[in-house]
Every structure is written in C-alpha cells, then in structure tokens.
Structure 1
C-alpha cells in the first residue's frame, strides 16, 4: 500500500483530479457579468405597463419591472451556460427552421451547429422564452405531498375563494330607454297586466340576451344588464313566482319574475381538496424559484452597458 502511495503516476492523477474539480468549482461560483438594461428596454417596459394598466408606473413599479427583466436575462444566460439549448428538442427544431430561413446548408446537425455559431439562438424570442422556462423548471425541485393540516390552513386562508354565489333563475320583460316615453312608466303600466297572467311574449321590447335566464349569479347580471340591475336584485330579495319592478338597467327598465334561487354556499374542504393540493404545489414552486433566483443573483453582477 505504501509503495502504491509513493507512485509518481498516482500523484499526477490525484493532482489532475484536484485541479479539474477545483476549476469546476471556481467556474461555478465565479461572478458573471450582465449588462444593465439600456434606455430603450426601460422605455419598452414602461410602455407595456401603461398599455396593460392604463396608468403610469410608479418608481416602485419600474424597479420591480426592471428586476423581473434582469432576472429573465439572468435565467436565460444561465440556461446557455448549462448548454440547455443544445439538447432541447423545441429549441433544436426552432434552430432548424431559422437555419432554413437563412439558407444554411448541410444536414440537420450541421445546420444547427451553424445557426448556433451565428448566434441565431440569442436573437430568437421563442428560444429565449423556452430557455427561461427550462431554468424555471430546473429551479423547482420536487416536493413532498402536503399534509391535511397544511391544506386545511390554506383552505381557511382562502375562504372567499370557495364561496359559490347565489344563482337566480328568472324571466324579464324589457322596456327600452330608446323608445318614446319613460321606460319606468311603461314598465309600471304593464306590471298589473303581467300579474294578471297576461301573455308575457306580447309585452315589452326585444332584448339582446332574451327573456329567460337560468342559474345566473349577480356577477352574471352585472355583465348582461349593468350594476344597477344586479344591485337592485340583490337588495330586493325578490319574491318567488311574482312579477316585480321596475328594475333599472344600463338599457332601460325591466319587470322581473324570479322562478328559483339557489342560495350562496361554501364549498367543503373535501370538495376542494384537489384544488388545494394544486394551489399548495404552485406556491411551493414559486417559493423555490424565488429562492433559486436569490442565490443566482449572488453570482451575477450588473455592469453599465454602452448605452448607460
């Protein structure tokens, strides 16, 4: 054994292994540079925010948007460093398509290699998004199944989510504000007739959504009739089987007869347990991704670009 330890060849092998692993450790933990966002990118982020929300972003919003963009670029850079673009079938197919568009020649492997050498993958937004998705999945390690106590805690925290709203089945007769006369007055004149079992089909004006409505929530009514209608229905506590009104809407006035009401109810824990498991896993994956990003940020330093 001592003789083996004294062998120079063994020493060279051990030193080589040490240098190999040490170099890998240094490369894995070395700081990597990433350019700060240029003014055009920052302006694009602001414009996107305005287009989506209809308002100017606050400084806090802009800081968050910039941080998210830098995180995406960091994930993309890390995916390239790990060569994820060289073994991903979606990326490879995209590179082949780009190679054909550029007129690159050769077999599929040669086209892909040429496209990568030209940096095509760095300017293709589809490839960029795919690489970011790969890194997000890489960051999300598998988790144990949640316990019932964890799910019950989540169930209690999300009570409003499991509320099934009351639903109404009803008929309505519409009196348009676009016709001569006040719609409320016209509705009141017809109310007595309808209570006397007059032919409903002959009363009122045509309405886009029809006369009969089954199992509609107050939110559904707001969408179809406007908030004034759903507010009036909610406040009235409408009697079953009787015509009442006028009920105002965004279009005029209505006479309404409620035929059935399904009261609001809370879904039970057992009923929503599969959904709770999905929510719990999503939360865990989000936490894992944020933790991974926090560690990754320690390895990247943002440097001022040429535009700064």
Structure 2
C-alpha cells in the first residue's frame, strides 16, 4: 500500500499495521451513535454557537489590538509630566503634540511587541523588572510604629542619629575659569605664603558666600563639589590657613574659624528622624518578605549558589 507525499509529490510506503488518519476519522464518524448525535438539532446549535463565539472573539481581539483609548487620566498624566520637567503648564499646541507623541509611542510599542522585539532584550527586561519593583513598593502601605518599636529602633541605631560635626571657615578663592588651572593654583600658593607672614591676600569673587558658616561635611561637599575639598576642610586645624584645596570651582585657601563637634541626640530630639527611618526599614523588610514569597512559587534550575 502506498500513500501520496504531499510535499515531495511522490509516493511513500505506508507503515504496516497502521491506519491512516483520514480512515480513523471516517470510521469514527460512521459509528451509529456518533451519526445519531451529529443529526441532533442541539448538536448543530452548539457547533454553530461555538463558531460564532470563535469568530466574535477573534474580531474583538483584533478590535482591541487596534484600539487606543486616550482618556482624561492619560491627558492629565501627560500634562503633569510636562509641568514636573519644565516647571510650567503646556499650551494647547504642546498638549496636542504630546498626545500625538503618546499615540505614536503606543502604536510602535504594540507593533514591536507583536514582532517579539521585547524578547531577549536586556534593557527591556531590566525596565520591566524595575517597573514591577516600583509597583510592588507602591502597594505596601506604610505602617505607623508603636512607641516601643520606635525606642527599640533608636537604641539599636543610635549612631545613625548623631548630629554631624559642623565647621565655619574663611576662604580666599582663585577661579580656574578666569585664570586657568595652573595660574589659579600658583596664585593660591603665593597668597598662602603672604597669609602665613601675616600679610593680606586677595583672590577672586567666589560665586557663593565668602565666609561659610556652620556646614556639615556632607553640606560642604554639595556646595563646593570636588572629591577632596570637604574632607580636607574637616581635617584642617582651627585658626590656620590651609591649602591650596581644589573644589569644583577652583583653588581655595581655607581658615577654619569654628568647630562644633558631633554629638549624640536624645530620643526626643531625634524622634522625627527615628520614625522616618523605622518606616523605611519596615518597608524594605516587607519588600524582602514579599519577594521571598514570590520566589517560592518558582522552580529555579541551574542556579547553584553557596
């Protein structure tokens, strides 16, 4: 016995002892009980209903695939994003342009997903994971700590609530924008020698305050920039000119005039900061628990870890 090969156009021998699929189906439909069921009007009704459902489902899916709803909430979100970025309200033309851009982005996204462009893309994977992480964190409603919890947290993290050392200092500044790197440093070294002899020395006008008062090291780092300026200021001796020190602006000579040592705060002084720190620690702990519960749903293969 031979059967036609639909692809090659030739004939191939059938496997002995097997019944072709068409023959099996024909034999099944020829059974009296099956033929009786197929003649029933109810069967016709059910088959027709299934056909209508499949067609309607396909049409609905296609309709949703090519439908983009831009509602008031979407417009509000677009406008708010513009205001946060530029600090002003967009005009009607800008709003229309942003809505058109949103629609274009949504169309490109759907077409890209339909082509599977999101598969095996490290950037897309990371962005989706980050978005889920943010969503999970937003779902965790902050809890208010009890008094005993606050005091216990303060006792175990007392060092975190110390007041930092603060310093005030005078400065003579030399701008690298006006003079260049090498010239500004050389002038600072000459000025330091004068100051050490008790003479006066003038520099350039600093864009910030000439006399800096009561700054912590972190605040000094934010104000002056650079990697080494603030650490050197907070190691400098009091009452003596030191430098030249490089900041994000140029070269400085610094004389520390006042030092307020770091000190521990009492619980009552630090209560507000203790509460915020407890809420953040509690949020992180609950996020870890949520992740552990989520991970237990998965079987991880090939991730041998100590």
Would the TM-score normalized by the shorter structure come out above 0.5?
A: no
- The structure showing larger relative contact order (alpha-carbon pairs under 8 Å, at least 6 residues apart) is 1
Alignment TM class, shorter chain as reference: 0.3 to 0.5
Calculate the TM-score normalised by the size of structure 1: 0.44
